[in-house]
């Protein structure tokens, strides 16, 4: 008789995995890309609505909202709430979302923890809703990538396909939050995925278009930033070229100042002391410069519609704005200080990204340059420079010019300015590359050796880990042994290399079988210490070494096997060239999208 346990039907997930396994791979990926895009569109809409809901709850009851002192207190409170949620509920580091996605691809087999499908959304909605001076884009990218990654993982997808679904999630997230499908695809291609074929682009497009459609249906079809642009004037090309160079240097300021400020604040080890310092600093900055409150898109919209005086908010400097040069000077200070308000928000416990601040600072810079130039007697379209500045700074900070060009065109409907967008973005990108080879997302992980590049060979080496390739079937001997006792070890070993260890397990040297052959059959030498045959000066590999460094050691020594030790110098095993080559070929097949 069959028991109930034996007749139990497979789970829904099990049936789903079996169904997808029987389906042609390309069709399965397209279906999952559609599902991923659908989820990302809903997530982007939910995040937008959550931010606006929190803001409505906090300031909707103000009679004179712009003059309330609570604007100075709210950001710090939001940072504290977000920090407490991360520390006691999430219990994981979820800051720097785009960088975390890059690390997941290079170090964690494209696996992202399940909580990231909601944790970044909740904490960033609170941070930004309370007025934190950051953007929602990096958290939604992390959320979208987590959605794609977890769909792939639950269905038992390979690394290649799970990485592709992760990219579909990121593309759908950007497309959904901005209603910009082309920008979503380009963001993934330029910043996240390192090795895609043309056939792999189709799932990205499908995910982006699906997410955008969902957002349009739920949020309406208006562009993200309303504007009144002036038609492109061919005679302004020289000014856009100069502006591109300025954006390149401004991007360098943004990147290096942000990383420097973050490093300084990290040295305050007590999180509550750091929160107090960041909350007070942010409150003071917002008090002096109201446009720093929140994402700043309201200020950008005012500048894009020639409402420059309204864009400053309830500033204590309002009485000075009758003087022509006061306004560009005010916004120049806003530009310079925004980096610090953003860093204080993130370092103080808030969760948000640099994506939004990049667009904000680019728009501010465009206004400052155009207004200052006009005050000197020229006539430049200020709204156009606001828009082009957003693309110029984004192209430099993120080192993604194509994403910058099409994102700004899509979120503003400014395709009539495609020419200046291309000129300024390309020159900004070229300028910063002279001084800084990495974007703000990749600079730190490049230093750690964990950055995947579009060079397939280098990308595969980055993915390989020494810990996965260590061979442990080498027979070790003690440094106190003699040749006679070593003969018995040889009799039971299939290797010709023998690590010599101290009593504590530290590697003291290597003995090659070839070096003892001449004395193996001479019993008169059996009392000779094994140390007489040992090679002491021998290149070792740390178990944490990057693969490109290991390959350099192989090349330098000309050897086929190298011993591996841990961070304390204790023996772990050996790594061989042949094992690395086999793993390289296998990994190359996994990452190839052809």
Same domain, 543 and 564: yes
Same domain, 448 and 466: no
Dmax (CA) of the chain: 103
Same domain, 572 and 515: yes
- What is the mean pLDDT of the segment spanning 2-29? 69
pLDDT at 536 over 80: no
Out of 219, 248, 277, pick the residue that ends a domain.
219
pLDDT tens by residue, 416-441: 889 999 999 999 999 999 999 888 88
The C-alpha atoms of residue 247 and residue 364 are separated, in whole angstroms, by 11
Out of 400, 425, 454, pick the residue that ends a domain.
454
Reported as a pLDDT band with limits 50, 70 and 90, residue 594 is very low
DSSP string, 338-354: HHHHHHHHHHTT---BS
Dihedral pair phi/psi, residue 121, rounded to 5° = -65, -50
Q: Which of 171-175, 218-222, 315-319 has the lowest mean pLDDT?
A: 315-319
Same domain, 488 and 447: no
pLDDT of residue 554: 81
pLDDT at 225 over 80: no
Whether residue 4 is contained in a domain is answered as: no
Same domain, 424 and 323: yes
pLDDT of residue 38: 96
Same domain, 255 and 371: yes
Whether residue 7 is contained in a domain is answered as: no
Whether residue 225 is contained in a domain is answered as: no
Q: Which residue has the higher pLDDT, 221 or 340?
A: 340
Task: Please answer whether residues 110 and 150 qualify as being in contact, where contact means their C-beta atoms are separated by less than 8 angstroms.
Answer: no
Q: How many residues does the chain have?
A: 594
Nearest to 112 by CA among 89, 82, 142: 142
Q: Residue 102 burial by CB count (10 A; 0-12/13-18/19+): exposed, middle or buried?
A: buried
CATH at residue 177:
1.10.3080.10
Q: Which residue has the higher pLDDT, 107 or 197?
A: 107
pLDDT at 495 over 90: no
Same domain, 293 and 388: yes
β-strands 497-501, 571-576 pairing: unpaired
pLDDT at 593 over 70: no
- What is the model's pTM? 0.80
Same domain, 281 and 430: yes
Whether residue 392 is contained in a domain is answered as: yes
Task: Please answer whether residues 404 and 395 qualify as being in contact, where contact means their C-beta atoms are separated by less than 8 angstroms.
Answer: yes
Residue 124 C-beta-side C-alpha neighbours within 13 Å: 32
pLDDT of residue 1: 45
pLDDT of residue 33: 94
State the residue range of the domain holding 322: 234-454
Same domain, 396 and 480: no
DSSP string, 45-101: HHHHHHHHHHHHHHHTT-SSGGG-THHHHHHHHHHHHHHHHIIIII-S---SHHHHH
In the three-class reduction of DSSP (H, G, I as helix; E, B as strand; rest coil), residue 227 is classed as: coil
Q: Which residue has the higher pLDDT, 77 or 518?
A: 77
pLDDT of residue 460: 61
Whether residue 283 is contained in a domain is answered as: yes
Same domain, 448 and 473: no
Q: Which of 144-153, 277-286, 354-363, 501-510 has the lowest mean pLDDT?
A: 501-510
Same domain, 200 and 82: yes
Which residues on neighbouring strands pair with residue 517, listed in sequence order? Answer: none
Same domain, 91 and 194: yes
- What is the mean pLDDT of the segment spanning 377-385? 90
Q: Which residue has the higher pLDDT, 326 or 567?
A: 326
pLDDT tens by residue, 241-300: 999 999 999 999 999 999 999 999 999 999 999 999 999 999 999 989 989 998 888 889
CATH at residue 508:
3.10.580.10
Whether residue 229 is contained in a domain is answered as: no
DSSP string, 370-422: HHHHHHTT----HHHHHHHHHHHHHHHHS--HHHHHHHHHHHHT-GGGHHHHH
Whether residue 1 is contained in a domain is answered as: no
Whether residue 379 is contained in a domain is answered as: yes
Q: Which residue has the higher pLDDT, 223 or 454?
A: 223
pLDDT of residue 215: 94
Q: Which of 141-145, 309-313, 405-409 has the lowest mean pLDDT?
A: 309-313
In the chain, how many domains are there? 3
pLDDT tens by residue, 555-564: 887 778 888 8
Reported as a pLDDT band with limits 50, 70 and 90, residue 63 is low
Q: How high is the mean pLDDT of the chain?
A: 85
Out of 429, 454, 479, pick the residue that ends a domain.
454
């Amino acid at each position: 008789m069959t028991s109930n346990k034996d007749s139990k039907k497979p789970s829904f997930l099990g049936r789903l995995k079996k169904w997808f396994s029987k389906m042609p791979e390309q069709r399965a990926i397209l279906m999952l890309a559609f599902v991923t895009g659908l989820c990302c569109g809903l997530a982007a809409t939910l995040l937008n609505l959550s931010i606006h809901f929190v803001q409505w709850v906090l300031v909707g009851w103000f009679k004179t909202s712009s003059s309330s002192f609570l604007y100075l207190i709210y950001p710090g409170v939001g940072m504290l709430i977000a920090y407490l949620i991360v520390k006691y509920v999430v219990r994981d580091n979820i800051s720097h979302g785009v960088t975390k996605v890059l690390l997941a691809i290079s170090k964690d087999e494209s696996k992202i923890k399940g909580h990231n499908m909601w944790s970044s959304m909740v904490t960033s909605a609170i941070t930004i809703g309370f007025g934190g001076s950051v953007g929602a884009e990096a958290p939604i990218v992390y959320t979208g990538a987590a959605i794609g990654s977890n769909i792939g993982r639950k269905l038992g997808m390979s690394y290649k396909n799970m990485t592709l679904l992760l990219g579909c999630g990121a593309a759908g997230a950007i497309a959904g939050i901005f209603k910009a499908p082309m920008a979503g695809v380009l963001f993934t291609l330029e910043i996240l995925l390192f090795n895609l074929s043309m056939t792999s682009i189709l799932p990205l497009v499908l995910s982006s278009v699906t997410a955008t459609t969902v957002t349009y249906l739920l949020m309406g079809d208006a562009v993200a930033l309303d504007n009144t642009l002036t038609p492109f004037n061919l005679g302004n090309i020289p000014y856009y070229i100069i502006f591109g160079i300025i954006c390149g240097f401004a991007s360098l300021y943004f990147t290096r100042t942000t990383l420097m400020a973050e490093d300084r604040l990290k040295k305050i080890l007590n999180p509550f002391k750091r929160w107090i310092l960041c909350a007070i600093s942010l409150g003071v900055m917002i008090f002096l410069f109201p446009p720093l409150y929140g994402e700043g898109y309201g200020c950008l919209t005012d500048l894009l519609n020639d409402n420059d005086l309204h864009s400053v908010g309830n500033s204590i400097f309002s009485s000075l704005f009758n003087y022509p040069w006061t306004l560009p000077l005010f916004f120049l200070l806003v530009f310079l200080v925004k980096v610090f308000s953003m860093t204080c928000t993130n370092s103080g416990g808030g969760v948000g990204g640099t994506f939004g601040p990049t667009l904000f600072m680019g728009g501010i810079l465009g206004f400052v340059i155009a207004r200052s130039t006009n005050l000197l007697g020229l006539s430049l379209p200020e709204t156009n420079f606001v828009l082009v500045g957003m693309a110029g700074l984004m192209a430099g900070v993120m080192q993604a010019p194509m994403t910058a060009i099409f994102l700004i065109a899509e979120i503003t409907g400014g395709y009539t300015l495609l020419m200046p967008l291309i000129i300024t973005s390309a020159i900004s990108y070229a300028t910063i590359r002279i001084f800084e080879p990495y974007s703000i997302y990749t600079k730190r992980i490049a230093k750690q050796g964990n950055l995947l590049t579009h060079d397939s060979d280098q990308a595969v080496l980055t993915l390989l880990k020494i810990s996965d390739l260590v061979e442990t079937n080498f027979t070790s001997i003690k440094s106190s042994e003699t040749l006679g006792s070593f003969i018995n070890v040889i009799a039971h070993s299939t290797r010709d290399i023998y690590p010599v260890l101290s009593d504590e397990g530290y590697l003291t040297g290597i003995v090659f079988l070839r070096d003892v052959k001449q004395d193996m059959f001479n019993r008169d030498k059996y009392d000779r210490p094994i140390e007489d045959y040992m090679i002491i000066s021998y290149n070792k590999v740390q178990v944490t070494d990057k693969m490109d460094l290991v390959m350099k050691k192989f090349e330098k020594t000309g050897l086929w096997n190298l011993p591996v030790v841990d961070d304390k110098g204790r023996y772990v095993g050996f790594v061989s060239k042949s094992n690395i080559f086999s793993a390289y070929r296998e990994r190359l097949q996994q990452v190839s999208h052809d």
